[in-house]
């Protein structure tokens, strides 16, 4: 395995500049800032964390606090960035995740020793006991259930927008992803499914998810929603859909057969 190079020299910047204010990211006229523009936005003293990763050609900053930006620059939510900049979303997810790792893990939870960036893995290593701490990744499933020419969509109580999406949920300890698909559909809607097929995946760092997408077929049962989670669940024909998540989201890709 090649060495993982992490630089913290503010004079060494790379082509992609990711400047974050928590879960917002700085853009200029709908593109990422250029290297020469980074200093006009912030310096290292303005940041809680900063590093560059040359193998991935980016530099990443986490601001200490929200600050006024020069003309032409603006903050946009990281979720929106994922939709607007699909070619940059993997880099932004990596940068944001490793910034959080470096900020959260400064001392070893096992022995209290100082943590340093590891030279081999995307991780933090204890200089005292050698313990490795990796970025947190939470696997979650999302499944589109078919019944003839209809699909099952649900409305989640936690969503701030009034859209319909697919059944989804986190994988539990000791559970296969296929088991999780069956369990989540059963828990949220009371339905049994069959013919579960893996379709694809998407990094979704809100906060640390890896979404694993599936399709399945209805087997049996009547809809009985899990009222703690859902406000509604219904069958819809593909030519008469309600409001669904934006293009680029894993739910949109499933519903529109883009995997």
How is the chain split among helix, strand and coil, in percent rounded to 5? 20, 35, 40
Q: What is the pLDDT of residue 18?
A: 96
- pLDDT digits over 16-50, tens only? 999 999 999 999 988 999 988 888 888 878 999 99
Higher pLDDT, 204 or 132: 132
Higher pLDDT, 90 or 206: 90
Q: How confident is the model at residue 195 (pLDDT cuts 50, 70, 90)?
A: very high
Peptide bond into 207 cis (omega under 30): yes
Average pLDDT rounded to a whole number, residues 149-173: 92
Q: Is residue 141 over pLDDT 50?
A: yes
- pLDDT digits over 82-104, tens only? 888 889 999 999 999 999 999 99
Q: Under CATH, which architecture does the 138-255 domain have? A: Alpha-Beta Complex (3.90)
Average pLDDT rounded to a whole number, residues 139-157: 97
Q: What is the pLDDT of residue 1?
A: 44
The residues near 215 (Cβ < 8 Å, ≥ 6 apart) are 143, 144, 145, 146, 196, 197, 199, 254
- pLDDT digits over 224-255, tens only? 999 999 999 999 999 999 999 988 889 999 99
Domain ranges of the chain: 16-104, 138-255
Higher pLDDT, 146 or 160: 146
- pLDDT digits over 103-125, tens only? 999 999 999 999 999 988 889 99
Name which of 166, 170, 169 is nearest 244 in CA terms: 166
Q: What is the pLDDT of residue 4?
A: 63
Q: What is the pLDDT of residue 160?
A: 66
Q: What is the pLDDT of residue 7?
A: 78
Average pLDDT rounded to a whole number, residues 196-214: 92
Which two structure tokens, joined as six digits, stand for 18? 């990711």
Q: Is residue 11 over pLDDT 80?
A: no
Q: How confident is the model at residue 56 (pLDDT cuts 50, 70, 90)?
A: very high
Residue whose token pair is 């930006």: 69
β-sheet with 115-117: strand ranges across: 115-117, 124-126, 132-133
Average pLDDT over the chain, rounded to an integer: 92
């Amino acid at each position: 395995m090649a060495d993982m190079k992490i630089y913290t020299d503010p004079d060494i910047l790379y082509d992609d500049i990711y400047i974050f204010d928590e879960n917002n990211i700085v853009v200029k006229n709908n593109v990422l800032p250029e290297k020469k523009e980074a200093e006009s936005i912030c310096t290292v003293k303005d940041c809680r964390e900063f590093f560059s990763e040359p193998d991935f050609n980016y530099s990443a900053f986490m601001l200490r606090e929200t600050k006024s930006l020069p003309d032409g620059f603006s903050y946009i939510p990281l979720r929106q960035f994922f939709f607007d900049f699909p070619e940059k979303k993997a880099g932004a997810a990596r940068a944001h995740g490793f910034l959080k790792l470096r900020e959260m893990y400064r001392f070893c939870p096992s022995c209290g020793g100082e943590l340093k960036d590891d030279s081999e893995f995307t991780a933090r290593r204890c200089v005292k006991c050698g313990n490795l701490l990796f970025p947190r990744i939470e696997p979650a499933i999302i499944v589109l259930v078919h019944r003839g020419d209809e699909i099952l969509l649900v409305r989640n109580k936690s969503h701030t927008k009034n859209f319909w999406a697919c059944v989804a949920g986190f994988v539990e300890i000791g559970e296969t992803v296929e088991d999780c698909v069956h369990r989540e559909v059963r828990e949220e809607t009371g339905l049994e499914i069959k013919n579960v097929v893996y379709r694809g995946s998407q990094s979704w760092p809100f906060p640390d998810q890896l979404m694993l997408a599936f399709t399945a077929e209805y087997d049996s049962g009547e809809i009985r929603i899990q009222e703690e989670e859902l406000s509604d669940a219904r069958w819809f024909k593909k030519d008469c859909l309600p409001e669904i998540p934006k293009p680029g989201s894993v739910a949109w890709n499933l519903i529109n057969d883009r995997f």
